[in-house]
Amino acid sequence: MNNTPSLGVVGLGRMAQALLFPLLEAGLVEGAGVRAVVASGASAARLAQAHGLAVGTDPTQAWAAPVVLLAVKPQQLDQVALAASPGQQGLLISVLAGVKLERLQRLFPAWHCVRAVPNTPSLVRAGLTGLAFGAGVSSAQRAWVEALFGLVGEVHELPEAQLDAFLALTSSGPAFVALVAEGMADGAVAAGLPRSLAHRMAHRTLAGTAALLDGQGLHPGQLKDMVSSPGGTTMAGLRMLEKAGVRSALLEAVVAAAQRSQELG
C-alpha cells in the first residue's frame, strides 16, 4: 500500500471539516490518504477518534501531500509556513481570510496557490465560494478545486481584487443576517408570539424571502413593493427601519468588513 498522503489539511476546524467530508463521500480523496494537522494533541486524538482519520500535531505530515488545504487563523500563517519544506511542490488551497495570493506565493514559492473564500452556509452545503487562482495552476487543478467547493455550494471565480468585497458580503453577511433574524424574532416576542415559534418563523421568513428573490430573479425593491400596501402594516414597519437608518447601517457594515479584510491581508 502507498503511504504517501493525497491530501494534507493544516487546521482541521469547522470549515476544513465541512470541505473534507463531502470530498470523502464523493470519492475525490480516500480517508487513508488524508493527513490532518491541529495544534493540540487532545484535539488531534478527539478528531481522529471521531472521524477515523490520521490527525496529528506534526505539520510535516500534511506538507508531504501533493494537495494541501490551509485552514488556520491568518495570524498563524508565518509560523505554519516554517513547516513546509523549501523544495516541496504541490497545490495549496488557502481559506485564510484576507490573505492574498502574493503573500502565499512569497511564503510557499514552489507551490501553486489558490485563494478561496467560502462562507459559513457551506457547513450545510448551501455555501458561496469565491476563488482566485495564482500563476501556474493547471486546468486539471482548477477543475479539482472547483469540484471541491462545488460540493458545498455555488462557486464563482473572481479577480482577486474583488474577493474582499465578496468576503464582506458572503462571509460576514451571515452574521448580519443573523442579527436581523434575532431582532425580528425579539420583535415578534414583544408583540406576543412564544419565543421558540418566533425564532422559527423569523428563520423561515428569511429563507423563504431569499428563495423568492433568487428563484424569480427579483430586485429587492420589487419584493418590498409587492408586500407594501398603502397605509398598511409593512409600510409602518419600513418607516421605522428607514428612520433608524437600517439600510445605511447594513451598507456601512459590508464596507467595513471589506476594509478589515484588506487590513488582514
Q: What is the pLDDT of residues 170-211, one digit of tens each?
A: 999 999 999 999 999 999 999 999 999 999 999 999 999 999
pTM: 0.90
Between 263 and 222, the more confident residue is: 222
Instruction: Give me the CATH code for the 7-160 domain, please.
Output: 3.40.50.720
- How many H-runs (helices) and E-runs (strands) does the chain carry? 12, 8
Is the per-residue pLDDT at 50 higher than 90? no
CA dihedral 250, 75, 112, 169 (to 10 degrees): -10
Helix orientation angle between 173-191 and 163-170, rounded to the nearest 10 degrees: 20
pLDDT of residue 56: 87
Is the per-residue pLDDT at 65 higher than 60? yes
d(CA 153, CA 151): 6
In terms of Cβ atoms closer than 10 Å to its own Cβ (0-12, 13-18, 19+), residue 83 is middle
Give Cα separations from 179 to 11, 15, 249 (angstroms). 28, 21, 12
Indicate the domain borders of the chain.
7-160, 173-264
Q: C-alpha grid cell for residue 82? A: 516554517
Give Cα separations from 34 to 9, 80, 125, 139 (angstroms). 7, 18, 21, 23
Q: What CATH homologous superfamily does 173-264 map to?
A: ProC C-terminal domain-like (1.10.3730.10)
Q: Judging by DSSP bridges, how do beta strands 111-118 and 127-133 pair with one another?
A: antiparallel
Is the per-residue pLDDT at 2 higher than 50? no
138-164: pLDDT as tens digits: 999 999 999 999 999 999 999 999 999
pLDDT of residue 122: 95
Give Cα separations from 112 to 11, 22, 225 (angstroms). 19, 23, 48
d(CA 17, CA 51): 10
